[in-house]
């Protein structure tokens, strides 16, 4: 059975260990399937690149325990090796609870835990820390061993070994201090792989790190894949099966209908299940780059703007006249438009970049965006009214993670989209507030949803795409 790689806190080395094992496995010609606990997009992108397999998120809050179990066994059982990278600290979940935590997922899937500990500023105290994580619960944890990170000298190594011997916890590896092994990051997390210039060299270094500094005789068996479930079913098909309402009907049984998904350095936060669900419903996802000022694909029946980093590319997006003009035409023509987080920023009147300079955007929604404080955490959303994807009174769980804030623009007309507020959001320690915009053809929000946890959403988008006329664009000067 696979193991879950966890830590006492973020920044301890979970991702470094996961990438190192994935890089070594691939260099040895083995197919390794990575998973990531929680809603994160950036760690999975790196794990996807290094392993060569799409990393799958295991989030019990966004998708539910049954989806997590089915996805893990379906994808994991098809690989030679399998690993699960945890999120934050081992017991960190929603608010002060362990709901959605790495420990909860390890308990759900019956996975042993490998604890990565940042050991640079401790010696004997590590025994108390490891004992605490081993014995804390619920949920209970099966601690398979510890990997120590950022160990600087032979003397330090000897001190740590002796301390761990006292608590009878296996030592599975000792990673040295090395600036070359540090993972580059910025305000929302790690750099995406397409922005890491020396990624090939880093992959080689990660593989060498695993080969020379880990106890592979003990670790490799912990990466054995899970068994297939009895009468196992593709989780995409499974999550669509129980949805009996809002069916798109027989109209999607013919040729696939084209759907444009923004895909470039500014917009790349999406789960692989989103396009898989759309494909199963008869929609063909076509990549489209606003950053390259591409027009929307001819004849597209819907547009999806995922999250990403538009604030880093605001000048180029403001100059993308063909792309912005195509968005305005699509909205005016009633083509369904879905925007999440960074995708939402493209639809406002203006967007401030990191230097505070203001840049014009599509002007479809009445707000301006500027840098603000961090908004982070799971949110419960309650629909305010019937719209493109959400119905009045429906409850969904999503995740919010951004540093930009919106300011209403009362001078701007809403005539293009005629949108109303989408839903009420509430999260632990956060007051209830109205958020997002919706209409019969638009859904725009800060909130990230995992569509495997709410399959009515892609079904409704598919149904709207069937009703929409194929987009015909006029030339944009």
Neighbours of 473 (CB within 10 A): 17
Cα Rg, the chain, nearest whole Å: 23
248: pLDDT strictly greater than 60: no
Per-residue pLDDT tens over the stretch 17-63: 999 999 999 999 999 999 999 999 999 999 999 999 999 999 999 99
Per-residue pLDDT tens over the stretch 351-365: 999 999 999 999 999
Q: What's residue 244's pLDDT?
A: 40
Residue 424's pLDDT band (boundaries 50, 70, 90)?
very high
Q: What's residue 178's pLDDT?
A: 84
172 alpha carbon, distance to own chain's centre? 29
- DSSP 8-class letter at 295: P
251: pLDDT strictly greater than 50: no
Residue 430's pLDDT band (boundaries 50, 70, 90)?
confident
Q: What is the C-alpha to C-alpha distance for residues 21 and 4, in angstroms, rounded to an integer?
A: 12
Q: What's residue 477's pLDDT?
A: 63
Cβ atoms of 464 and 302 closer than 8 Å: yes
| Helices (H), ranges, 333-476 | 342-345, 456-467
Q: What's residue 254's pLDDT?
A: 73
Per-residue pLDDT tens over the stretch 101-154: 999 999 999 999 999 999 998 999 999 999 999 999 899 999 999 999 999 899
197: pLDDT strictly greater than 90: no
Per-residue pLDDT tens over the stretch 207-225: 999 999 999 999 999 999 9
253: pLDDT strictly greater than 80: no
374: pLDDT strictly greater than 70: yes
Per-residue pLDDT tens over the stretch 285-299: 999 999 999 999 999
Report the relative pairing of strands 367-383 and 420-427 from DSSP bridges: antiparallel
Please give the share of the chain, as a percent, with pLDDT higher than 70.
96
Per-residue pLDDT tens over the stretch 296-350: 999 999 999 999 999 999 999 999 999 999 999 999 999 999 999 999 999 999 9
Q: Which domains does the chain have, with CATH numbers?
A: 3-223 (3.40.50.300), 248-467 (3.40.50.880)
Q: What's residue 414's pLDDT?
A: 47
Q: At 345, is the secondary structure helix, strand, or coil?
A: helix
| Torsion 273-276-280-282 (CA) sign | positive
- Among residues 3, 63, 341, 419, which one is catalytic? 341
Report the relative pairing of strands 430-438 and 442-445 from DSSP bridges: antiparallel
Q: pTM, whole model, 2 decimals? A: 0.95
| Torsion 108-243-339-412 (CA) sign | negative
State yes or no: is 419 an active-site residue: no
Cβ atoms of 144 and 83 closer than 8 Å: no
Q: What's residue 243's pLDDT?
A: 58
């Amino acid at each position: 059975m696979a193991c879950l790689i966890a830590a006492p806190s973020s920044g301890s080395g979970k991702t470094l260990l996961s990438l190192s094992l994935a890089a070594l496995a691939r260099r040895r010609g083995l197919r390794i399937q990575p998973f990531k606990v929680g809603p994160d997009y950036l760690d999975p992108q790196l794990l996807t690149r290094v392993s060569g397999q799409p990393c799958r998120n295991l989030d019990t809050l966004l998708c539910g325990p049954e989806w997590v179990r089915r996805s893990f066994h379906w994808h994991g059982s098809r690989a030679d090796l399998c690993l699960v990278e945890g999120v934050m600290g081992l017991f960190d979940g929603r608010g002060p609870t362990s709901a959605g935590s790495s420990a909860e997922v390890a308990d759900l899937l019956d996975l042993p835990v490998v604890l990565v500990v940042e050991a640079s500023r401790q010696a004997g105290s590590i025994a108390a820390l490891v004992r605490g994580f081993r014995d804390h619960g619920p949920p209970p944890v099966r601690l398979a061993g510890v990997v120590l990170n950022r160990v600087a000298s032979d003397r330090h190594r000897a001190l740590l070994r002796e301390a761990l011997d006292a608590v009878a916890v296996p030592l599975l590896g000792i990673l040295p201090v090395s600036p070359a092994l540090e993972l580059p990051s910025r305000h929302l997390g790690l750099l995406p792989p397409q922005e890491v210039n020396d990624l090939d060299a880093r992959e080689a270094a990660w593989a060498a790190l695993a080969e020379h500094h880990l106890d592979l005789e003990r670790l490799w068996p912990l990466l054995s894949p899970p068994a297939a479930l009895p009468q196992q079913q593709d989780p995409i098909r499974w999550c669509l099966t129980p949805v009996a309402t809002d069916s798109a009907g027989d109209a999607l049984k013919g040729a696939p209908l084209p759907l444009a998904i923004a895909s470039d350095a500014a917009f790349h936060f999406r789960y692989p299940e989103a396009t898989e669900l759309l494909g199963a419903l008869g929609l063909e996802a076509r990549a489209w780059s606003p950053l390259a000022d591409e027009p929307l694909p001819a004849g597209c029946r819907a547009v999806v703007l995922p999250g990403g980093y538009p604030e880093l590319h605001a000048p180029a997006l403001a100059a993308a006249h063909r792309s912005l003009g195509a968005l305005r035409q699509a909205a005016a023509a009633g083509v369904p438009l879905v925007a999440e987080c960074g995708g939402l920023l493209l639809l406002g009147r203006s967007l401030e970049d990191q230097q505070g300079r203001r840049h014009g955007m599509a002007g479809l929604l009445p707000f301006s965006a500027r840098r603000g404080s961090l908004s982070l955490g799971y949110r419960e959303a309650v629909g305010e009214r019937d719209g493109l994807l959400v119905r009045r009174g429906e409850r969904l769980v999503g995740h919010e993670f951004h540093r930009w804030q919106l300011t209403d623009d009362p001078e701007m007309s809403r005539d293009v989209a005629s949108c109303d507020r989408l839903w009420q959001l509430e999260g632990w320690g956060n007051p209830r507030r109205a958020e997002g915009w919706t209409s019969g053809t638009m859904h725009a929000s800060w909130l990230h949803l995992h569509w495997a946890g709410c399959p009515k959403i892609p079904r409704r988008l598919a149904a709207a795409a069937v009703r929409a006329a194929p987009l015909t664009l006029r030339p944009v000067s």
